[in-house]
Amino acid sequence: MELIIGLLSGAVGGNVAGGLLKKFDQGTLINSLAGIVGGGLGGTILGMLGAPDMAGAAGEAGGLDLGAIIGQVAGGGVGGGALLAIVGMVRNAMGK
């Protein structure tokens, strides 16, 4: 479940970053793809750093840990936006 949240928030983060950083905007499809990859990486990196996962005590009780979900959304969004910026810089450098 946390991977899906990271991927979806990464896609949103990639498109938001593309909208805010016009010089790195690569179109909706590339923004979404870069965001999905970045969101997956962002969530994985957060997990490696010890961020709480959704299988914690609240997950065992049948609920979802809101703090973990917010962390996944933030990590996915930031990871997606960061990877989009990197892709945009590389594509802009190749175009010159």
For 58-81, write each residue's pLDDT tens digit: 444 445 678 877 877 888 888 888
Report pLDDT for 54: 44
Q: Domains in the chain: how many in total? A: 1
Q: What is the pLDDT of residues 38-61, one digit of tens each?
A: 888 877 777 777 765 544 444 444
Global pTM value: 0.73
Q: In this predicted structure, what is the pLDDT of residue 43?
A: 74
Inter-residue contact 88 to 25 (CB < 8 Å): yes
Tens-digit pLDDT profile for residues 13-23: 888 888 888 88
- The pLDDT of 11-36, averaged and rounded, is 88
Q: Which domain holds residue 14?
A: 2-53+62-95
